[in-house]
Amino acid sequence: LTTLYAFPSLEPLQFLRYPPTHLNVPLRKDILHKAVIFEGDATRQGTASTKYRSEVHGSNRKIRPQKGTGRARLGNKKSPMLRGGGVAFGPHPRDFSTGLNQKVYDLAVRTALSYRYRKGELLIVDGLDIPENITSTDEAFWLKACFDTLRWGNGNGNSLVVSEADEEENRLVRVLNQNRNFGRGRGVGTVDVKNLLGMGRVVIERGALDALLGNHQSDLR
């Protein structure tokens, strides 16, 4: 049982009921850890690249004789010991992404939402947007005043705002991401487990919550 609020007044509108398999999942830190690592690995570019001695352009002629000079033996100028030579064990392009069963990831999303719900840090609102009478020049001022009044800003822990629409389509989310002093905005298609756990609270539209739960319940079928 949870409450649906009006935005920005936070006036209670009605009670909502969700199955315990959606918003009352027991805390599993191991599953949350796997999901966060999986998301982090997927964002690694893996584009760092160096050249080994065989890939460096230049002559293969031996720099000095093997014996008789009193100095250490040395090969060509592409040796890793010389400036301008190759790198012995340098990085090469690779794919850092790891695998995670879809059912495990879906459970992790619902576990993160349930964790927020039990702590009272999941606020479900009927809609999230800036009023139409607020001009583009006043958007940032209105957003700061609204978040300061609701105590959602930086001084009270930043807030994650999740919209049913895409990030560029929702005006509030777009302005929030341009002024990141009080929180972050995400569309329901881009929110992940790390987002759900990283902020002081999660403010989510009812449609976004229903879509998020609907997209992450493969382990229940």
- Per-residue pLDDT tens over the stretch 143-172: 888 988 998 877 778 899 999 988 888 888
pLDDT of residue 27: 96
pLDDT of residue 90: 94
* Alpha-carbon torsion (130, 153, 195, 115), positive or negative: negative
pLDDT of residue 84: 92
List the one residue out of 124, 91, 96, 116 whose CA is nearest residue 2: 124
Q: What distance in Å separates the CA atoms of residue 211 and residue 125, rounded to the nearest whole number?
A: 14
pLDDT of residue 87: 95
pLDDT of residue 136: 83
Per residue in 104-142, pLDDT tens?
Answer: 999 999 999 999 999 999 999 998 888 888 888 888 889
Mean pLDDT, rounded, for 36-40: 95
Mean pLDDT, rounded, for 196-203: 92
What percent of the chain shows pLDDT beyond 90? 72
pLDDT of residue 42: 92
How many other CB atoms sit within 10 Å of the CB of residue 146? 18
What region does 183 belong to: left with phi over 0, alpha with psi -120 to 50, or beta?
A: left
pLDDT at 17 over 90: yes
pLDDT at 210 over 90: yes
Q: What distance in Å separates the CA atoms of residue 115 and residue 23, rounded to the nearest whole number?
A: 8
Q: What distance in Å separates the CA atoms of residue 214 and residue 188, rounded to the nearest whole number?
A: 11
pLDDT at 179 over 90: no
- The model carries a pTM of 0.83
* Residue that wins the pLDDT comparison between 5 and 171: 5
CB-based contact 187:136 (threshold 8 Å): no
Mean pLDDT, rounded, for 82-107: 94
**What values do phi and psi take at 116, rounded to 5?**
-65, -40
